[in-house]
Structures are given as C-alpha cells and as structure tokens.
Chains A and B, each alone.
Chain A
C-alpha cells in the first residue's frame, strides 16, 4: 500500500518534471538517506540560498538608486505593496457584497462595520498624536542639526559675497587711475579681474557644498516619523473603507434603494388615484419614470473597479483565447506543411515574412480591423451576450481584449506551426512502413500514425507558443489599454503615487510566477503525449 503510494508519487513527480521533489519522497521512505540529503542540498538548498542571496543584494542596492518616482523599492516595500494590493481587492469585494446584501445579514454587517468605525476613532486620534509627536521630534532634531548647518551656509555665502564686492570695488578704483595709452596697466587689470572671477567661483562651490550638506540633513529619513505616518495612513484608509461600507450597507444598499424607490412610487400612485383632470398627465409621466428607475435599480450592481487579481484572471483568460486561436490556425497548417512539400513551399514566404513582426506592430492593426467589425461595440449583440454570460460576464470582453488576443495568436502561432510541420515530416520510417504494409488510407494514417508520432513535437511547440504569448500579451494590453496586467503596469507608470514603483515590481513577480505555472502545465501535457524515443522529451 505504502509502496504503491510511493510509486504513484514518483510517477506524478516524473510526469510534472518536478524532479527536485524526488529526494524528499525517497527520504520519507528511508531510501539511502545520505544520497537523498545530498540531493536535497544540491537541488533545493542551493537554489533557495541563491535566491536569498539575490534578495539580500536587492535589499542592499535598491535604496541607493534614487529616481523621479522615488527609490527603487526593496523586497520589504514590494511585499508591503503586494499586501496593499490584496487589501484593496478584498475591500472592493466587500463593498460589492455589501451593496447586494439584504435583510438581517445586512443589518448585522452594518452593526459590525459601525462598531469597528467607533473602535477606530481613538486609534486614529492616537495615531495622529503619534505623528504630531514624531513631527515635533523630527523638528527638534532638525533644529539641532539642520539649523546650524543652514546658518553656516548662509554665513559662508554672505562672507563670500562680501569679499567679492570688496574686490570689485577695488578693481573699479584701480581702473579709474589707468590712462588710455598704459597698455601694461590695462593688461594687468584684466588679469586681476580674471583672478577675481575664479576666486568667486571657488567660493561659490565651497558654500554650495555646505548647502548640500544641509539639504542632505533635511532629506534624511526619519524612520520614526515615516512609521507613524504609515500607521496613520493605514488607519485613515480603513476608516475610509468602513465609511463606504456603511454607506453600501445603509442608504446606498440596493435593497434600501429599491425600498426607497418603492415608497416614492407608492406615494405617486396614491396621488394619481386621488387626482383628476389636467393634473393626471404629469403624474402619469412621473409614475412611468419612477417605475423604470426602480427596475434599473433592482438590476444594478456595484461599480467595482478593476483590482489586480481580477486583472490577472482577465490576462490569463486573454492569453488562452489568443493561444487557442493561434493553435487552431497553426496546427492544421503545420500538419499540411509536414505532409506536403508543395504546401510547405507555399507557406514558407508567409512564415518567413510574418514571424519576425513585433507585437507592437500587429496590435494597432488588429485594433483597427476588429474595430471595423464592431462599429458600436457597446450595443453589439456579440459583446452584450458575453457581458451577460455567467462566469465570464464580469471580464467585460471588448474589442481591445479581442485585439490583444489576436496579437497573442499572431505572435505565438509560429512556434507551433514550425514544430508541427517538423513533427509530421519526421515520422519514423518504420512506422510509415507499417502504414504502407497495412495500406492505411489518408485519414487513418494521419490519425493513427502521423499525428500521434508528431504530438510530442506539437506540444513542444505549443509550450513555446504559450510562453511567447504570455510575454506578448502584457505588451499588447499595455498598448491596447485592455484591462489586465499590462494595463495595471501602465496605470501605475502614469499614476506616479508613492507606491507605484513598488506595485510595478510586484507585477514582475506575478507575471513571472504565472508564466512559470503555464509552462509547467504545458510540460505535463507534453510529457503525457511523449513516448519512448520521441524527439522532444523534456
């Protein structure tokens, strides 16, 4: 039983190409512990240590480079902004749920939120006091260091300017005493003036240094103050969120708004029942508009902003749509290329011509082409159907999404096409002989012999395609302003908030990890279709 489990685990590890886990499984079964420990050290500890080293180097060097968008974020700052991204996501989700909450649940939640808001009040006051105190301390520290430094600078500057003035006065006096034909004295005067300007410049650079020193003191971090401010910001943000939540749970809640609308409508109806003559027409008009407003309110949803996790899902969805479109085109063409040299010859110019074209060129073209199909996308049945579809409705698939997906398809299909052609063209001669002896027809030969034999290479191609597609997608989204990871980065770049830089670094890791996962998935597929002796074994 246990041995079976072990074999199963080892098989899974082999299939998923996670070879570094193998020694752990073997160690659990007490198999050659020495060798396994050595292997763990080699294949797990070494990478972990190197990664830690990387984090340390990053932490050490990041703060040294100052940019217009602040310092390069350290790992700690990056992790903090990851957390703030996730907090934002969680809070927006809460607000959405709050908007839709009904009945007792709403009441209860409202009470909780209000209680928490009360709790925050003293905390906020405390945090504000702490900030004030830190500011005072900072100010005190500044007066102790900055003020003397500034005074020193001012003094030096004053002195230098004074000296300069005196020299000029002397020069002027000297100039007055020089006759028109006294060229030696004229030359001397010029030399003295040159010496004077050099002296002034030297003195200036001296007192500028003092100024820089003073500025450095002013700019120097005051960790106590930064921490106090950060705490206050956190509390203020939570307060802000709770206030919005309370609004969503009370007056702004859908149920509440519907009830409100209903009472207004009822009042109007009662009025209408009692009225007569000319008063009826305006009343009928308002009843009608109140009714339609009520219907709209009952259907309405919280206008939730895009959060990073939502953008990640949309990006992944987009890359798969593009990857699927690309594969659907690439595999059949690749098979035909592999089967027929003539077809291959026909396709070669296209492959050679279009393969090197950058996604940046394809995207605007696709935006225009796809835009041509949907002159008014908001009302087009294709998009309205997708927006109302379950599960994918919230992705708000739009022409920009389709253009990004098409760009992914266009850029990623080449690897699959070329690999499929190669796989189909290089079927083992023995296997072809089997087909010949059996006189298999075209379709059985294709599906029983050629395709299974080409599959490992096809999947090797698909794996490359998906990797390329993922890289292309981020750029495409950025250009197309299609909601997703690329758009997130672009928004942060344009936003210029204090944590924008750190958020971009978070995206680097998110993109990397997702790319890694996609690659792993493709490896599993590729392994599953590989056979002994197939060309593309991972």
Chain B
C-alpha cells in the first residue's frame, strides 16, 4: 500500500487584500494520505477546512505549495477526485439515474448504453435508491438527494473521494444512515477519502486518522490523531470501546484550546481583516456544538447548529 498516495505539501491559500498583505487563509498545510485511508479533517468553522478540500478538488486555485494524487500533481478539477458537497447539487431537470449517468458517460466513454445503465443502477442500489432511479430531485427528501450525490461521486471510480460536510444539512437519523452507507461503500471500494466535518463523533466513527486544523487565518495542521478501530466498523462496538472517550476527549481538548485562543486573540483577529470569501467565525455556533456534544455523550450523531 502506498503510504503517500496523496501528498499535500506546504499548501497556501491567500486572497488579495487591497489594504495590506494578502490574507493567508491556509498557510503551510502538510498532509500525507495513504491509499485507501479515510482521513477526517476537523476544526472550527471558518478555519479553512473547506478551502483545503476545494483546492484538492481543483475547484479553488492553489496559491502556493502543491497537491499530488497518485504521483501526479493536480491541475484543475477532474473526475479522478469526486466531490460530495454539503448541498446535494443535483441537476433538478434530471432524474436520479440521469444525474449519475452524467458522470458515468464521462468516465466510461467506451461502454455501451446497456453497460452504462447497469453501472448507474449498481451505484444507485449501493446507496439504497434502486427504487427511486427515475425520480427527480424535487420528489426526493434531502437524505435521498444526498445519496444520489454520493452515488454520482462513487460512480466516477475516483482515485480520491472528497466529502465536504456531506451530512451537514441532514437530520441526525438520516445522518447516521448515510454514515453507514458511506462506510459500507468505502469498505467495499477502498477509496482514499477526505471527509470534512465539525462533528467530533462523526470524525471518530468514520476516519482512520483525524487531522485537526488550527484556527484561521494561517490555518495549518495542528495535530493528527490515529483512530485504531478495526474496519468494517460497528457503531455500538466503537461506542463501547475503552479508547472511544479518550479519543473524543483528545479532540475536544484540541478544539477547546483553540476556542479559548480565539477569545484571547480577538485583538489580533480584528487587526487582520477577513476575506469575504471565508464565512465569518461563528463563536456561538461552535460553543453550542461543543455543548451539545458534551451534554449528550450517548448520541453519536449530533445535530449541528449549522444544519
């Protein structure tokens, strides 16, 4: 197995600032991802998690540094790095099958119509939508739409799967369902995956390693935490594991440290104007996320206030 299947080296994202030095949202982000590994990226909102992901997807320009996937430096977006966004982003004038077919056509240009149809059907049944292939997005629930989004991404046979808070807009029950759907697929397809979340429990349940990011601007990797649980994972077993609360405590400590830092560093924060493209830091949101996690230790899927 290639330990450095994906290499992110000294990644920098800077936005021009008309009144001073460019604002470096992400500065010196380094991360290696092994083949087939699931890496969770966690951090406070606005810290630059999504920026790293969109840069990896090629949708956002890289200011400095580079990203190498499977020995090739990335250059713009491509079907080798499939993205599942927070919003399902389905094309509303197409059925579920047509949405998936759009990618399948691109990736299997030489397949016959029949074969392509089978591929689409296979991936839709993988996400549990075998019966809803001909439904249009408006006839589906948010969860179902997100499943189509997942099927569309996986059907590309990507080298890397990028999940940008894929469950951020779903209710907790649907969220648990979809976590299991994705984990099933990942176990089967052994996809190298980067999943962005600000839900501690989701990060532990899904990832092999969790990369904790410091607060932006100038965000970078603060600490990387190994999650030693076996795959395939069982929710109950993970929850009951001795290590579970230690890992969780470690993550929360890290996040809390930065939470405090953010309050003490407020003067500095104000001095450095924030780029319009990054959402402003929502202190209230993060605190309540933490509070919710702390007061409901038995709930794995915490309803994020961002949802």
The secondary-structure label for the interface of chain A is: helix
Question: CB distance A437 to B79 under 8 Å?
Answer: yes
Chain A residues lying within 8 Å of B81, measured Cβ to Cβ, are 437
Question: CB distance A532 to B102 under 8 Å?
Answer: no
CA–CA, A448 and B85, complex, Å: 20
Answer whether residue B91 sits at the interface, using C-beta atoms and an 8 A cutoff: yes
Chain A residues lying within 8 Å of B85, measured Cβ to Cβ, are 430, 433
Question: CB distance A436 to B59 under 8 Å?
Answer: yes
Question: CB distance A532 to B91 under 8 Å?
Answer: no
Residue-wise interface mask of B (88-126) relative to A, using a CB-CB cutoff of 8 A (1 in contact, 0 not): 010111100000001101100000000000000000000
Q: Given A438-B102, A448-B91, check contact A531 B79 (CB 8 Å).
A: no
- Which residue of the partner chain, among A433, A449, A529, A533, contacts B59 with CB atoms under 8 Å? A433
Question: CB distance A438 to B87 under 8 Å?
Answer: no
Question: CB distance A437 to B91 under 8 Å?
Answer: no
Question: Chain B nearest CB: distance from A3 CB in Å?
Answer: 18
Tell me how many residue pairs across A and B have CB atoms closer than 8 Å: 59
Question: Chain B nearest CB: distance from A15 CB in Å?
Answer: 14
CA–CA, A529 and B102, complex, Å: 19
The secondary-structure label for the interface of chain B is: loop
Docked complex: B180-238 residues within 8 A CB-CB of A: none
Question: Chain A nearest CB: distance from B185 CB in Å?
Answer: 18
CB-nearest residue of chain B relative to A441? Answer: B106
Chain A residues lying within 8 Å of B103, measured Cβ to Cβ, are 438
Question: CB distance B92 to A531 under 8 Å?
Answer: yes
Chain A residues lying within 8 Å of B57, measured Cβ to Cβ, are 437
CA–CA, A433 and B88, complex, Å: 12
Question: CB distance A437 to B83 under 8 Å?
Answer: yes
Interface hub of A436, A437, A439, A453 (most chain B Cβ within 10 A): A437
Residue-wise interface mask of B (57-70) relative to A, using a CB-CB cutoff of 8 A (1 in contact, 0 not): 11100000000000
Chain A residues lying within 8 Å of B156, measured Cβ to Cβ, are 438
Answer whether residue B138 sits at the interface, using C-beta atoms and an 8 A cutoff: yes
Chain B residues lying within 8 Å of A444, measured Cβ to Cβ, are 102, 105
Question: CB distance A439 to B106 under 8 Å?
Answer: yes
Question: CB distance B92 to A434 under 8 Å?
Answer: no
Query: Interface residues of B, CB < 8 Å — how many?
Result: 25
Q: Given A439-B77, A439-B78, check contact A434 B106 (CB 8 Å).
A: no
Docked complex: A344-373 residues within 8 A CB-CB of B: none
- Which residue of the partner chain, among B91, B136, B137, contacts A434 with CB atoms under 8 Å? B91
Q: Given A430-B85, A433-B59, A437-B83, check contact A531 B93 (CB 8 Å).
A: yes
CB-nearest residue of chain A relative to B103? Answer: A438
Answer whether residue B82 sits at the interface, using C-beta atoms and an 8 A cutoff: yes
CA–CA, A438 and B137, complex, Å: 19
Q: Given A436-B59, A438-B102, check contact A532 B77 (CB 8 Å).
A: no
Answer whether residue A431 sits at the interface, using C-beta atoms and an 8 A cutoff: yes
Question: CB distance B138 to A437 under 8 Å?
Answer: no
Interface hub of A433, A444, A452, A534 (most chain B Cβ within 10 A): A433
CA–CA, A529 and B93, complex, Å: 8
Q: Given A452-B91, A452-B93, A531-B138, check contact A438 B59 (CB 8 Å).
A: no
Question: CB distance B106 to A438 under 8 Å?
Answer: yes
Residue-wise interface mask of A (494-529) relative to B, using a CB-CB cutoff of 8 A (1 in contact, 0 not): 000000000000000000000000000000000001
CA–CA, A430 and B156, complex, Å: 18
Question: Chain A nearest CB: distance from B129 CB in Å?
Answer: 18
Question: Chain B nearest CB: distance from A536 CB in Å?
Answer: 14
Question: CB distance B138 to A448 under 8 Å?
Answer: no
Chain A residues lying within 8 Å of B94, measured Cβ to Cβ, are 448, 452
Answer whether residue A440 sits at the interface, using C-beta atoms and an 8 A cutoff: yes
Question: Chain B nearest CB: distance from A454 CB in Å?
Answer: 11
- Which residue of the partner chain, among B78, B89, B138, contacts A433 with CB atoms under 8 Å? B89
CA–CA, A440 and B109, complex, Å: 12
CA–CA, A81 and B82, complex, Å: 70
CA–CA, A455 and B94, complex, Å: 13
**10 tightest Cβ-Cβ pairs between the two chains A and B:** A531-B92, A430-B89, A452-B93, A532-B138, A436-B77, A437-B77, A438-B106, A531-B93, A438-B103, A439-B78
29 A-B residue pairs with Cβ-Cβ distance under 8 Å, sorted by A, are A430-B85, A430-B87, A433-B59, A433-B77, A433-B83, A433-B85, A434-B91, A436-B58, A437-B58, A437-B59, A437-B77, A437-B81, A437-B82, A438-B103, A438-B156, A439-B77, A440-B102, A440-B106, A444-B102, A448-B91, A449-B91, A452-B91, A453-B91, A453-B93, A531-B93, A531-B136, A532-B92, A532-B138, A534-B92
Residues of chain B having any CB pair with chain A under 8 Å: 57-59, 76-79, 81-83, 85, 87, 89, 91-94, 102-103, 105-106, 136-138, 156
Residues of chain A having any CB pair with chain B under 8 Å: 430-431, 433-434, 436-440, 444, 448-449, 452-453, 455, 529, 531-534
